[in-house]
A and B are shown apart, each in its own frame.
Chain A
Amino acid sequence: MKTGEAKKPGILQLRGVRKVFARGTIDEVKALDGIDLVVYERDFITIIGSNGAGKSTLLNIVAGVYPPERGGRVVIGGVNVTNLKEYKRAAYVGRVWQQPEAGTARNLSIEENLSLALLRGQPRGLKLAINRQRRQLFREALAVLGLGLEDRLNTPVGTLSGGQRQALALVMATISRPTILLLDEHIATLDPKTAQTVLQLSDMIIEREKMTAIMVTHNMETALNYGNRLVMMHKGRIIVDIGEKDKKTLSVADLVTAFGRAAGEQFNDDSILLSDS
C-alpha cells in the first residue's frame, strides 16, 4: 500500500537494505530484512513499530553509523552514499537522538555547540569558530524556539534542562540545512509536557525550513498527528506505508488493525511455525 506522490524526486532512496547483527552466532538478528523506501522532497514521515522492529537501525543506516549488508543501496539527494562513512555524509543528514545528552556537548557553551553544528559536513579551518556574524545567526535561530536561549549564548549546555537541550539539538540538527532530518524517538525521555513542546517545535522548524524529515516514535497518536506519511515497521520490514490522504482519516484503532493484518501476512510468508516461541 505505497502511496507516495511519485511526481516529486526521491530525495532519499533505500534499495534492498538488509542488516544482520552477530551473524553466524546464536544471537544472530536480522535487524533489517529487505527495506525499500523512497522518501520524497518535503516528506515528513513518521515511523512506528514495536521494539526490535528495526526503526533505529534504519536511521543508523541512513546516517551511516554502519553500512548495510552487501547488495543494499542508500542514495541521498542523488548521491550514492552506501559506503560513505558517517562523518563524510554529515552534510546530508541532521539527527536528533533520544537522549538530549547525545546531540549536544555539555562542556561547551550554547554558541560553541551551534558553531560546531553550523559547519556540519564542511571542512573546518583555522578561522575563529565564533564571530559576530555567526553569533547573530545563532540568536535568530534560537529566538524561533521562544525559550529565551538566544540571551544565554555563553551558558554551558550541561546546565540546561533536558527539554532545552533537546530544543538546542533540534536547532543544531537543522541550522546547516541538511538534506534530511532524522528524529530518533527524540521526545521519548522527556516529561509529557516538555515532549509536547519539543514535538511542536520540531513540526514548526520542519515546516519553516521546508525540511524533509523522518521521525521515529513509539506513540501511535504522535505518528498519526504529525507528518504527511506514516510507515509501520515490523521485524525489519516495512509493513505499512500510508500517504497523506489516507493518514488524515486514520485512527489509532485502524492502525492496530492494519498492524495485525500486515504482520499476519508476514507471518504467513515466513512460516510462523519456525519463529513461534
Chain B
Amino acid sequence: MDVGGLLSVSLYEGLVFGLLTIGVYLTFRVLAFPDLGVDGSFPLGGAIAAVLIVAGANPFLATLAAFGSGLCAGLITGLLNTKLRISALLSGILMMVALYSVNLRIMGGGNVPLLRDVTSFDLVAQILGVRGGMALSIAFVLLVVAIFVTGLNWFLRTEIGLSLRATGDNEQMVRGLGASTNRNVLLGCAISNGLVALAGALVAQNQGFSDVGMGIGMIVMGLAAVIIGEGVFRPRGITSILLSCLGGTFLYRLFINIALRLGMAPGDLKLITAILVVVVLAIPFIRKKIRGEWMPPAARM
C-alpha cells in the first residue's frame, strides 16, 4: 500500500473537510443547535463557486462568495428557529430540503463541470509558476484553513464570541447577563454554514465539478469527525478544540481511505460512517448499562 499517498490524500481531505467539521462543531457543540442544513449548504458552496467560475469570475472571489452564500443559508436557518420558533432540528431539515431545489436552480441542472475552467487551485499553481498536484492542493487548503481557523479562534475569544460560546452552555444565564441569545444563535449558524459552504467550494474546485448530491451524509461525517477529535485529543480550551476538529477529520478520512484501499465499495461509505457514529454515540450508554447506572430516557426534541 502506498503509505505516502494515503497520508497525503487524508491530510488534504482532513484539512478541507475540517472546515466543515468546525462548522458542525459550532452548531452541535457550541450552540447545542443540531443544524442538519449542512447537507444543503455544502453543495450550495460548491454550486455558487462553480457557476461563478464558469461565468468567468475570479476563482478566489468565487470561493469567498460561496462562503457568503453559506452565511446567508445559516442565517435563514437561525431565523426559522429564533423568530418563528421552529425547532432547531426541523429548521435545519427544512433548509436542507429547500437548498436542494435552490442548488439545482443555481447550477441549472444537477452537475456543473469545471474541467476546462481555472479554479483556485489552478490559479495558485499559475501564480507560483508550478504544476498543480497533491502537494500544492495541501498547501493551498492549509493556507485557507489557517486563515479561517485563526480568525475564528480570535473571534471566539472576543466579548461577542465568548457570549456565543456560553449560549449553548447556559442560555438562561447569557440572557440574564444581558446578551441576546437569539443574535448569538443567528451569528453561530451563519458562521457554521459559511465554513461548510467554503469547504463545498474547495472540494468542488479540487474534484473538477459541482454536484447536487455531493452534500449527502456530510452532517454525519462532520459529527463523526467532531466525536473522534474529542475522544482522541481530549481538547481543553478553544484553540485545542478547533485543532482537534481538524485532527478528528484527518483520522476519520484516514480510516475511510484505508477501508477503501482494502476493498470497501465506495457506496458503502455512508453506511460505515453511520455505524461508526452510532457506535461512538452508544458507548456512554453501554458503559453505564454494564455498570448498572441509571440513564435518562433519550431526548426527542
Question: A residues touching B (Cβ–Cβ < 8 Å)?
Answer: 63, 86-91, 93, 95, 97, 101-109, 112-113, 115-117, 119-122, 124-130, 154, 156, 172
CB distance from A54 to the nearest CB of B (A): 20
Q: Which of B158, B169, B178 contacts A121 (CB 8 A)?
A: B178
User: For residues 168 through 184 of chain B, which have their beta carbon under 8 Å from a beta carbon of chain A?
Assistant: 169-170, 172-181
Task: Judge whether B179 and A102 touch: CB under 8 Å.
Answer: no
Task: Judge whether A95 and B162 touch: CB under 8 Å.
Answer: no
Most buried by A among B159, B160, B173, B177: B177
Task: Judge whether A102 and B170 touch: CB under 8 Å.
Answer: yes
Task: Judge whether A115 and B170 touch: CB under 8 Å.
Answer: no
A-B contact count (CB 8 A): 96
Residues of the B chain whose Cβ atoms lie less than 8 Å from the Cβ of A115 = 159, 162
Q: Measured between alpha carbons, how far is A126 from B177 in the docked complex, in Å? A: 17
5 cross-chain CB contacts under 8 A:
A104-B170, A105-B170, A113-B166, A125-B158, A128-B154
Q: Does B116 contact A (CB under 8 A)?
A: no
Q: Measured between alpha carbons, how far is A102 from B166 in the docked complex, in Å? A: 12
Q: Measured between alpha carbons, how far is A129 from B173 in the docked complex, in Å? A: 17
Q: Does B288 contact A (CB under 8 A)?
A: no
Q: Which of B169, B178, B237 contacts A120 (CB 8 A)?
A: B178
Q: Does B236 contact A (CB under 8 A)?
A: yes
Q: Which of A91, A101, A129 contacts B158 (CB 8 A)?
A: A129
Q: Does B165 contact A (CB under 8 A)?
A: yes
CB distance from B191 to the nearest CB of A (A): 14
- Given that A105-B170, A124-B163 are contacting pairs, would A88 and B158 also be in contact in the complex, using a CB cutoff of 8 Å? no
What 10 A-B pairs are tightest by C-beta distance, nearest first? A90-B178, A124-B159, A121-B178, A105-B169, A129-B162, A105-B166, A105-B170, A87-B175, A126-B158, A129-B159
CB distance from B31 to the nearest CB of A (A): 12
Task: Judge whether B179 and A127 touch: CB under 8 Å.
Answer: no
Q: Measured between alpha carbons, how far is A95 from B155 in the docked complex, in Å? A: 28
Q: Does B208 contact A (CB under 8 A)?
A: no
Q: Which of A91, A106, A108 contacts B162 (CB 8 A)?
A: A108
Q: Does B289 contact A (CB under 8 A)?
A: no
User: For residues 210 through 251 of chain B, which have their beta carbon under 8 Å from a beta carbon of chain A?
Assistant: 236-237
Task: Judge whether B176 and A126 touch: CB under 8 Å.
Answer: no
Q: Does B113 contact A (CB under 8 A)?
A: no
Q: Which residue of A lies closest to B165 (CB)?
A: A108
Task: Judge whether A125 and B176 touch: CB under 8 Å.
Answer: no
Q: Does B157 contact A (CB under 8 A)?
A: yes
Residues of the A chain whose Cβ atoms lie less than 8 Å from the Cβ of B180 = 87
Q: Does B161 contact A (CB under 8 A)?
A: yes
Task: Judge whether A128 and B158 touch: CB under 8 Å.
Answer: yes
Q: Which of B161, B162, B166, B176 contacts A63 (CB 8 A)?
A: B176
Residues of the B chain whose Cβ atoms lie less than 8 Å from the Cβ of A104 = 170, 173
Q: Measured between alpha carbons, how far is A109 from B236 in the docked complex, in Å? A: 10
Q: Measured between alpha carbons, how far is A154 from B236 in the docked complex, in Å? A: 10
Task: Judge whether A86 and B170 touch: CB under 8 Å.
Answer: no
CB distance from B176 to the nearest CB of A (A): 6
Q: Which of A88, A125, A130 contacts B178 (CB 8 A)?
A: A88
Task: Judge whether A127 and B178 touch: CB under 8 Å.
Answer: no
Residues of the A chain whose Cβ atoms lie less than 8 Å from the Cβ of B161 = 129
Residues of the B chain whose Cβ atoms lie less than 8 Å from the Cβ of A108 = 162, 165-166, 169
